[in-house]
Chain A
Amino acid sequence: MVWSKVSRVTDPDPSAATPRVVDLGSVVEPDEPEPPPPDDASLSPQAREEAARRAEQDRRDRRLVRKLKEGDERAFQELVTTYQNRIFGLMLRMIGNRQEAEDLAQEVFIIVYRAIGSYRGEGRFYTWLYRIASNTCKNRIKYLKGRNFHRSVEIEDSPQAQLPASEGGAVVTFQSQVPGPEATVEGSRMEQVIQRELAALDPEHRLLIVLRDIQGLSYQDIIRITGLQEGTLKSRLHRARLALKERLQPYLR
């Protein structure tokens, strides 16, 4: 079964941003050092293209951060629009509840707005953003665990899930490429199963699976976000995958 393509963090959707809100050409160049140009001959053309796209994204983020520090709310809007899907996606996969995920994702951006003065531009903006998001999420999970939270809305049961984004729904489609009601039902069921088994994992393991396998972050970015050592990341990710594989065993062919 082949499902719709997953968006990757390393591949930001340029259409998600609203280019009309900030004229980046008029923004003064940031004082942080630019990343080196991707001219390494050892890289494949694809990797070079990817590196160039990331470098462009980083430059754009730095300009927006600089504008935001100067109090430009349009820059904030553009940052939110650029990253809202990924942060909402992270929260949804971690928490499994749409409303809770939306509230948490909003909270993350409010923290970013308030703490932007303390962001010194060391490292990529989005790893800083993800660090805030993952800490917010882990704290929330702890809090919910303490309150014995168990009102997680199943994805297919949520009325909002049935609505397209244009009608106010957070879109979650999980179906085969062959259209039809059976494929849709099967896709939704599988998504629900994966979400349920994911939620049963230890939050640390869950976070690694979401960051690496669902959102497609690189090992280096995950290390910057979580603060783990490379060896620890590799072994912990492996254990997380083994745990999920065991849980999903009946559905694997």
Chain B
Amino acid sequence: MAEPSTTDADALMSAYLDKQLAPEEAAKVEQLLAASPEAREELDGLQNMLKLVKGLPEVEAPPDFYEKVAKKLRRRRGRGEVLWMLALPFQVLSVVMILVVAVTYMLLHLDHDPSVKLERDPAAKKAAEMAPVVP
């Protein structure tokens, strides 16, 4: 959303009402108010509107507000624990499955590794040693 420049004295009117302007900015607004009846009218209208809005009554939360918050927190915490308990067997199962897959893979991999095969089979090892070395 594009914002209008705040150097525009008109846009400074609200800050003027809130006494949030530097002296030179306030002087600029006062100059505008003195020169322009429309600006003065707008300022009066804003003041009247603010009187209405600032007069809105105090709002109080219900007296059992904290109890309701605490109850919701307990309920959610309890739900979280139940979910965790329900999820636990699945988590254990997942770990076991990963281990099984890993071990199976390692065993298969070892079976295909020729150096391991030679170590396991002494006859094959001996044959490999006896074989003539090709230059």
Please tell me which one of the listed residues B14, B49, B61, B73 contacts residue A234 in the complex, with CB atoms under 8 A apart.
B14
Instruction: Output the least CB separation between B77 and chain A (Å).
Output: 10
Instruction: Report the count of interface residues on A (CB-CB < 8 A).
Output: 62
Q: Is the CB of A190 within 8 A of B52?
A: yes
- Chain A residue numbers with a CB within 8 Å of B70 are 73, 77
Q: Is the CB of A85 within 8 A of B60?
A: yes
- Chain A residue numbers with a CB within 8 Å of B76 are 110
Chain B contact surface mostly: helix
Is B78 among interface residues, defined by CB-CB distance under 8 A?
no
Chain A contact surface mostly: helix
Q: Is the CB of B55 within 8 A of A2?
A: yes
Is A106 among interface residues, defined by CB-CB distance under 8 A?
yes
Closest A residue to B68 by beta carbon equals A106
Is A149 among interface residues, defined by CB-CB distance under 8 A?
no
Q: A106-B68, A106-B72, A110-B72 are in contact. Are A85 and B61 (CB under 8 A)?
A: yes
Is B20 among interface residues, defined by CB-CB distance under 8 A?
yes
Q: Is the CB of A172 within 8 A of B59?
A: yes
| Stretch in B5-13, B31-39, B82-90, B99-107 touching the partner | B5-13
* Binary A-proximity of B96-124 (CB < 8 A = 1, otherwise 0): 00000000000000000000000000000
Q: A102-B62, A248-B52 are in contact. Are A110 and B69 (CB under 8 A)?
A: yes
Closest A residue to B45 by beta carbon equals A245
Residues of B within 8 A of A (CB): 1, 3-6, 8, 10-15, 18, 20, 42, 45-46, 48-50, 52-66, 68-70, 72-73, 76
Is A130 among interface residues, defined by CB-CB distance under 8 A?
no
Give A249 to B45 CA distance when docked, in angstroms.
8
Please tell me which one of the listed residues B6, B49, B59 contacts residue A252 in the complex, with CB atoms under 8 A apart.
B49
Give A252 to B104 CA distance when docked, in angstroms.
83
Is A56 among interface residues, defined by CB-CB distance under 8 A?
no
Q: Is the CB of B14 within 8 A of A172?
A: no
